[in-house]
Amino acid sequence: MFDDITRAVLSREEVTRYLQGSRGESGAEARERVFAYLEELRTTQRYPIYRALKHPLYPILRKIERRSENVEIVRRAIDAGHVLYISNHKSHIDYLVEPLVLDDHGIRPPIIAAGINLFGGPLGLIHRHVTGALPIRRNTKDPGYLITLKAYVAELLSRHDLLFYIEGGRSYSGELKPPKTGLIHAALQADRRELTIVPCGIAYDLVLEDRVLARQRTKRTQRPFARELAEMVRHAVGYRSRAFVTFGEPIDFDGCDPHSRRDVLELAHRTRDAIGRLVKVLPTSLVATAMKPSMSRRDLETRVAELIDALGTSGANLDTTEAIDAVDSGVRAFASRGIIVVERGRVRVRERNVLRFYARTVEHLLHAPGSRTH
């Protein structure tokens, strides 16, 4: 038995052509491949059970103070139709925090597009049958999969809201990565008369898996999620952080031709730039950018003040404009994680790579990023 989305996907022109062997496969081979991908993509969100997930996840969630900005933008957007939330991607915690921020305000969370590596074992069952997450095979060149995925997303957006991460996976370096265009292209194939893009920026004082990400810097292989989860649990000892989710003004599709690669890329970059301005600039990022291997507290405050002025000029979403407050908060947070140490009025770097991870989070906002100082 096919659900309504599956039937709609199979009736789309681009899928019909593929099933007729337009890409060199026989009709039977193409049909078998598309049906297998449709079964993989099928997902269900059971909202009452989804809300109940807060309770077993409380040991993690209680360590993170959720803060939201501009939720009224979302309310206006959902009144007008369906919403495509597009966010940056900092942590595996994003999947918990962003939907719960919406739920905190009585807004039904969207279906989330997530890497297929998150769909193994019990977690996969929760994603597929409770949270309604959509498994995505990243970096595949299989035309059958790409055609099916884009058609499925296009039909999904006529029935549900969707959240996806424009960078693809998490940023291992800390910087805001170039945009991926696949799901934006899929959205352009949807009925856009009642569809709105709402950009989202997420930021943490401390990213739970900062040491894991900073150690790798770039993603080399896809590790089993169970191993990543074990590392996150180990680093969660003593962890506390604020999480800021900021929503931006809607981005429209006007004048964007889905058949024009240039138009799709321009829309992706416009969305990514909007997200970059929304991401909260927190004291940890300011301290990390201003730090030298060793410096006095006063010198650090001076450099942070200069940085705040520069970021303010670029339109950054600053958490504070007071250098003393920023240094107090940032130094305290890093010292609690053993990333820096304060001795006799001097601040010294203990984990340089982790500090650089946080410094890179504001590079996209600086007109001329300086050379490394630590």
More confident residue, 213 or 58: 213
| Cβ atoms of residues 255 and 80 within 8 Å | no
194 and 342 co-located in one domain = no
In this structure, the chain runs to a length of 374
27 and 129 co-located in one domain = no
Determine whether 62 is exposed, middle or buried from the number of CB atoms within 10 Å of its CB (0-12, 13-18, 19+). exposed
CATH number at residue 272: 3.40.1130.10
Buried b (16+ CB within 10 A) or exposed e, 282-297: bbbbbbbbbbeeebee
75 and 17 co-located in one domain = no
pLDDT(367) > 80: no
Number of domains forming the structure of the chain: 3
Q: Find, among 155, 156, 136, 157, the residue nearest to 146 by Cα.
A: 136
Whether residue 204 is contained in a domain is answered as yes
132 and 213 co-located in one domain = yes
370: pLDDT confidence band, cut at 50, 70 and 90? very low
258 and 160 co-located in one domain = yes
209 and 108 co-located in one domain = yes
Whether residue 16 is contained in a domain is answered as yes
Q: What angle do CA 217, 66, 163 make, to 5 degrees?
A: 65
Whether residue 236 is contained in a domain is answered as yes
More confident residue, 233 or 206: 206
101 and 85 co-located in one domain = yes
CATH number at residue 301: 1.10.10.10
Whether residue 8 is contained in a domain is answered as yes
> What angle do the packed helices 94-104 and 71-80 form, to 10 degrees?
80
Whether residue 164 is contained in a domain is answered as yes
127-155, pLDDT tens digit by residue? 777 777 899 998 888 899 999 999 999 99
| pLDDT at residue 221, rounded to an integer | 57
Q: Among 278, 305, 327, where does a domain finish?
A: 278
SS3 letters across the chain? CCCHHHHHHHHCHHHHHHHCCCCCCCHHHHHHHHHHHHHHHCCCECHHHHHHCCCCCHHHHCCEEEEEECHHHHHHHHHHCEEEEEECCCCCCHHHHHHHHHHHCCCCCCEEEEEHHHHCHHHHHHHHHCECCEEECCCCCCHHHHHHHHHHHHHHCCCCCEEEECCCCCCCCCCCCCCCCHHHHHHHCCCHHHEEEEEEEEEECCCCCHHHHHHHCCCCCCCCHHHHHHHHHHHCCCCCEEEEEEECCCECCCCCCCCCHHHHHHHHHHHHHHHHHHCEECHHHHHHHHCCCEEEHHHHHHHHHHHHHHHHHCCCEECCCCHHHHHHHHHHHHHHCCCEEEECCEEEECCHHHHHHHHHHHHHHCCCCCCCCC
Whether residue 370 is contained in a domain is answered as no
Whether residue 374 is contained in a domain is answered as no
Domain span at 301: 283-365
| pLDDT at residue 123, rounded to an integer | 65
Q: Among 278, 305, 323, where does a domain finish?
A: 278
| pLDDT at residue 2, rounded to an integer | 61
17 and 53 co-located in one domain = no
23 and 99 co-located in one domain = no
298 and 249 co-located in one domain = no
Q: Find, among 359, 276, 371, the residue nearest to 315 by Cα.
A: 276
Rounded CA-CA distance 271/254 in Å is: 14
98 and 237 co-located in one domain = yes
| pLDDT at residue 218, rounded to an integer | 58
114 and 199 co-located in one domain = yes
| pLDDT at residue 175, rounded to an integer | 94
Which phi and psi (to 5°) does residue 325 adopt?
A: -65, -40
pLDDT(78) > 90: yes
Whether residue 373 is contained in a domain is answered as no
Q: Among 249, 278, 307, where does a domain finish?
A: 278
Percent of the chain with pLDDT over 70: 90
163-202, pLDDT tens digit by residue? 999 999 899 999 999 999 999 999 998 888 889 999 999 9
